[in-house]
Structure 1
Amino acid sequence: MARKGYANLEAELSESIPSQKLDRATMWVKARQDKNGCFKEPEVEETAERIERLKKKESDGELTTDGSDDVLTLALGKPEHPGRVRGVGGFTKPASYFNLPKSRKKSVEETLRKSVKLILEEEKESIVAKERVAWEQERDRQVAEERAYWTAKIGRLEAKIDGKEVPLESPESPKQLTPLHEHGSGQGSCSRPAEKILIDIVEGDGKTVKKKLVLAEEKIFVQEDQQVATDQPMQKLTSIIEEEVRVHISSKNSDNELQVDGNDCGLAIDRVENIVAYGTVIQVNVEEGNQKIHGVPLGEDNVRVSVIGTIVHDALLPFPVKDADIVTVGDAIGTCVAWPRKLVVIPAPEAPPKPIEQKITKRANPKKRIRDSFDDDNEDLENLPTNLPLPVKDLCMWAKTELMDGATIHTTFGGEIFGHSRKAVIFRRDIYNMANMLEVSGGVIVFYMSYIYGVLKKSKMLDMVGFMDPAHTGIIGCGNPTERARSMSNRYMLGKPGQIFLVPYNSGAHWMLSVVNPDEEAVHFMDPLKRRLCAGEWKSIVDNSIKIFNAQKGRKGRKIIQWKNLAGIPEQTDSKTCGYFVMRYMKEIVEDKNLEFATKWERKSNLAYTQKDIDVVRAEWANHVMKF
């Protein structure tokens, strides 16, 4: 280069080489070549060859450079001088050469990102506005159809009372049986959960019988008023047709009758013994296929039931009605919902179900019991297995005589355990299963979780570990996946920063445990059968619950939730003890004050639980149940 300088050399080379290729590494090489392109020293030639190799890697994406750590610095193996820039000249400072372009690029990217975000938000608002307008138009259309339908219906009733002939319904008449509720779907039999009136307009002599359903103190009474003459038909019709009414027209020419079964039935969740409400089976247009309820197909395996009373008020419906905010059995009182046919318990005709009453048996530790005519007492609590833990044996001896005629042990846990009040029930069959190492129910799991809550309280670890209600996670009777994800996210919101949650999950016939840390967006998965990490509905529910939690917190969060399968947990050796293993997992987690369960069970091992280890859990559970 002699005394030409980098500036003059760059101007000379720009005539034959594109300016974008004249980086400082190229300038450094060209400055050390003679007119023939040769190097005077072999060390310089080796450095030039090294520069060419690094450039090729950079162009192929194998090498990433940043700032002053570029190709020339890597080839020379020496950091950049703080006062000058090699291959550029002595008047250019490192701060202006390396940092300024990078800062400008970052500013442009941030501006572009903000602009794109603003455009997306405006597009989202536009879409939401269009959908709202379409929804309001559909609602107005349904209201108009309902108004026309009921106007014609009332006209037919007035003609019936006047003794005139009732015209047949036209095929185009809508099939809605109730007025459109402002929160309802407008289809099927959706009504507000309030006192309902059932009126039968009976053919003959122009007289009617008025029947009212009165709900009081969880008992159902049917009152039949005296017959009323119809001298003033319009006044009488107005007095008996109140805000919402179900109508039954006995017509020989009509096949679309509303048939109401007079017998009450029990409505169960998960299994037939777990009755959470009682109601009546309603059959509408039985001969027609593709029946709908709240705008959703009823399905061949489900029936339409009218909920008229509850036992577990906060139990989730098998099929919640989101549009009408009907999620629990308490919300569904007085309305019709879909219920699995196999979980509708209909008593024998000669022994109709009795009103639900509360009975308390006094003893050393009084047991609160609730009378349930739908349960049986066939479990043998006298011929017990040998080597039974003493607390379990004592509980069986007591239950043998006290838990008769469907009586159960029950209590209501406060919101400090699950974030909401939780009514839990122990049946006679639960105690029998515990004694014989058979499958455990969700109620058994809940009672044990209340026990280990006490363990955490004594250890002052309540801010570290929380609990998720199994009734909000299981695949049966706990709502659809979206409802379950929202329930879990609401529980996270009530937790402490950094708190982990123990989440038992029943896939239908198998218990598993997930430990969720929503703040770190991490999940540790434990399957007593030591199968691979689940990738189906449950993983999607947990992932969505964390994403909803992040949205409620106003933070972005990760794109992918981190799941870890704890392969070193002890494995169950049969097909019925998964629940006991899940309870044992939870016990060991809460008893470790450092919460190092992930380190202990992270890798595969030969760890195993003995019968003595499981008996410890059974004894703790029995001692805890005896306190209620």
Structure 2
Amino acid sequence: MDDSLDITPSQAESNSQSTKKRVRGPTCLKKLRLKRVRDQKISVEFDQSTGNAKGPNRREFNNYVAFLARSKVSILHEDWDHVEESEKNMIWQTIMHNYDVPNSKFLKKKLISYAGQRWRGFKTQLSSFYIYGKYKDKSPCDKYTFLKKDTWQRFVESRLDPAFQEKRKKAQEVQANNLYPHTLSCGGYQKLEENMMQEKAKKVQEASQLDHSLVIVEPPSPLKRHEKWKRARQKKSGDYINEESRIIAEKIDSLVEQSTQGSFLPLGREDILTVAIGQPEHPGRVRGAGRGVGIRQYFGPPSRNPLSMEDLEVITQKIQEQVTKQLSEQLEHKLKADLSQQFQQQVRQELASLGLLQQNTNIEPAPHSPIHVSTKGNDATPDPLVEDNHTNIRDQCELYVDVDPPRLVAIGKVYNLGSTIHHKTIEDDNVRVVVEEVRDAEARVPLPTDEVHTVGQAPNQFIQWPRRLVKSMSAKAVVESSKDAPHKRLEPQLDPLERLLIIVSKIRKDHVQLPWDPDVLSKPSTMPFYIYRRDIFRLCMGSEMPNISIMQLWLMYLHNLCTDKGNAHIYGFMDPQSIQSVGNNATEVQGYLQSRLHESKKQCYLAPYLHSDHWQLLIICPKQNVVVLLCSLHKKTINREMKTTVDLAMDEYQRLVGSQSRSRRKKPTWILPRCQTQTEGYECGYYVMKQMLTVVTVDIVDSWKKIFNSSGPFPEEDIADIQQRWAAFLLQISNL
């Protein structure tokens, strides 16, 4: 038998007398030996993000790697870095020889690192027990047959050397400063998480047995790292291992309560555990996350220029002053243009009132579209806007429908933001309007669209309206006010984006608090939602990539839009913060996805996904077992870990709804249509926002490649429309 299979203890150890106290001996791995006799490799699963083994064979596999490390690598090496690469490669080849393991560089690096960890632990165990501990009068060579007597003698001499004694003393002093030691076994946080998840699943199962109406038992929610940190410092009795750990646990409970009430908001690396302990994470590992999880992997890269609150306040003040100055210059220019026309009109009215000019008060309607004059209050004939085809009316106007006589159905505003609306050209006889006040919700709009048929469906959306059926209210206001205040300064009306920018530049709060709609992203309504002032500036300026908060508010807008359109039963939304790789592990993301798929039962889920500073759109259709990926950079694949997570969540969803057995269930079909290409580095978020708006307004549920088949960029008007809608919605639901 070759050396790689020599994994059984000595015969002397196995034939020890029964009178001896039974203790845990070296790893035997009889199951592995039996499999090898049959020339079969044992299969083992791995977490693709950490490289840790998982599944039913996890424990045996980890023990085997530990055995190879201590039996194939001499304990005389000073540290793992001094071990020859040939020895490490031999460990890797032996692992692949006995286990069905993918031959990947990533997995090799992780497993060799784990072997080094267990090798160092073995050396520490030998020193603690056989040199300084209770077995110092015995030799470990009887227990570990691969350990030679001369090797052991040299190891003892190296450990008794004064230089090592000094090194050991310093290490003990460092360990003494660990105020929060854990009680975990060699299984670490991975084993602890498995046990805690089993406990949660058992509680859910017991609850389902009490409530027979629960036909399908939902999977337990993923664990947070502060929950695992607390449990790792508890005894079996439930008491904490020391007073320091108990104090931190109480702080964690308090912060959890504050976060549910909205008085505390965990942000990035400043999460509940970090704030409770009061110390940042140490580079190279993450507290409560387990082996193989680095700080950048768990939280993402740190901010390039971390700023204090004082620095942020100074920068915000400078931005506010700059924005105010720019707005003042823009408003002054607009005001002069508007007042030039208004002043001419006032002069004519003054001259007419003095009898020096015959004022023509009857404006004849266009000959090709006669409008009958009526004198019944609001049914008066609207004044057609025929003076200038490029008129941009920012004040309020009356919107009529073409009946006999014309009837006032809404109050709105006219905007000149371009020559197209939703890829349709605005005819010269029409204008772009936004309905702000509905007078007749059931009245049909003159120019209906796919999403707007009645006036009641029109608020907060750009639509076309015949110019002849729009009557400016400012002209009437000027006539009525000219007698009392002929020289009154008339302020121009601003669009939602301009109004929002002016309001935010004046407020002193650094954020705006909004309520969550629990139906949108499965977040509790008691949880506060913050839009920070810097984020509002970011969107209004339109020169930076939208962040997660901006995207979350957009999802709330789309949900409201779906509710108004009556297709909220078709479309659901995934929280971009809950599915991104930064701050979430694969298990947490999978748990969130399958929970949303199972609970809300929509036909399509729109999931904006942020990875490596780039937004992509995932459209998940669970009933069709289809996932659509839209990328404005035309990347043909998504992050491998995310794809695997989505596939697993879809598979679990199929199981929960009673689909076929796992062996017969198929993996989701991934579709990558050709979509619009961004021209600037920051536009990916706006492209995702536009794509989602297109899906819900046109009611797209299939034929993705036929609908998304253009590789050109979105018109600037479409991006401006996104900004205006976002700003109008924020003004609508906030107290600004």
Q: When the two structures are superposed, what TM-score results if normalisation uses the length of structure 1?
A: 0.47
Q: Which has the higher contact order (CA 8 A, sep 6+)?
A: 2
More helix by share: 2
